[in-house]
Amino acid sequence: MQKITPHLWFDKEAKDAAEFYTSLFTDSKITNTTTLHNTPSGDADIVSFELAGQSFMAISAEPDFKFNPSVSFFVNFDPSRDKDARKNIEALWEGLSEGGIALMPLDKYPFSERFGWIQDKFGLSWQLILTNPAGEERPVIIPSLMFVGDVAGRAEEAINLYLSVFKDSRMGAIMRYGPGQEPDREGTVMFADFMIENQWFAAMDSAHEHHFAFNEAISFIVHCDDQKEIDYYWDRLSAVPEAEQCGWLKDRFGVSWQIVPKDMDEMMARGTPEQIDRVTQTFLPMKKLVIADLKKAYEGE
């Protein structure tokens, strides 16, 4: 099981979005759909799906949060692994362009023969890149964090925090801004990638003026084996007490995480409607999740 799963917050489009994305990416499928009743957002659809073999989860809830480019997803097309990489990058760009907006057109850039950054019709941002086949192999999809505004210049600090908290972690590549690249400060991160829990992430700083920041529209679910592990991540990541709710937290950079037990995934996927409702009503008032209480609710105790 993938330890860390990106979670996407939609208004009412989670099912439509999952169907759209799985139609565009190879090795993709919807794996589960569950409806939670009587939440603060009313009935909320939760959809689990895979894109290029990687797990995602989406929820339809109230329009409280909107996607923005502070979190995007790199999609790597490697000619050394895929002889049709150039054709496939063009095809995915065309698919994501339906109703979308190009933030950087698909073109040749100094860092890639083919790259484009697009915001799709749901507002989610994707960076499509023809990778260098001489470089170290990376997964097809990599979440990317852009540190802007109050946290611009702190990407390396965030990477070091995540490397210290998560297991099976290591630094990958790092490129820094040089002199004359203002407003970005010399030495801050132009691009870096890093592995946590055997999963790759990317990060960059941008001191340019941006009218967005990290928010709960995209969070990262950490699937925990037991209460001890939930406590471990909660204690090391949570930095905004008012953001603690239903297993959600924010770290000191504003990135949102969900610290949840693996057992809960099983409950929500396989439980009866009555069991799911009981678990839902139990976790809604919680901040940090308590596995024992969730299990009691599931069993009807």
Arithmetic mean of pLDDT over the chain = 94
CA atoms of 261 and 289, how far apart (whole Å): 8
8 A C-beta contact, residue 145 and residue 71: yes
In tens, the pLDDT along 150-201 reads 999 999 999 999 999 999 999 999 999 999 999 999 999 999 999 999 999 9
Residue 22: pLDDT above 80? yes
In tens, the pLDDT along 222-246 reads 999 999 999 999 999 999 999 999 9
Q: Which residue has the higher pLDDT, 84 or 35?
A: 84
* Residue 184 φ/ψ, nearest 5 degrees: -70, 135
Closest CA to 156 of 111, 191, 198: 191
Fold matches, 4-66+215-299 and 71-205:
no
Beta bridge partners of 203: 145, 192
Q: What tokens were used for 222?
A: 């950490």
pLDDT band at 266 (very low <50, low <70, confident <90, very high): confident
CA atoms of 228 and 236, how far apart (whole Å): 13
Task: Render 182-203 in DSSP notation, one character per residue.
Answer: TTSPTTSEEEEEEEETTEEEEE
Q: What tokens were used for 169?
A: 């972690």
Reduce the DSSP state of residue 63 to 3 states and report it: coil
Task: Name the residue ranges covered by the structural domains of the chain.
Answer: 4-66+215-299, 71-205
The CATH class given to the 4-66+215-299 domain equals alpha beta
8 A C-beta contact, residue 73 and residue 142: yes
CATH number of 71-205: 3.30.720.110
pTM of the shown model: 0.95
Q: What tokens were used for 89?
A: 């990058």
Residue 126: per-residue pLDDT: 98
Residue 225: per-residue pLDDT: 94
In tens, the pLDDT along 37-74 reads 877 777 888 999 999 999 999 999 877 799 999 999 99
**88-92, 227-231, 296-300: which has the minimum mean pLDDT?**
296-300
Residue 191: per-residue pLDDT: 96
Q: Which residue has the higher pLDDT, 12 or 220?
A: 220
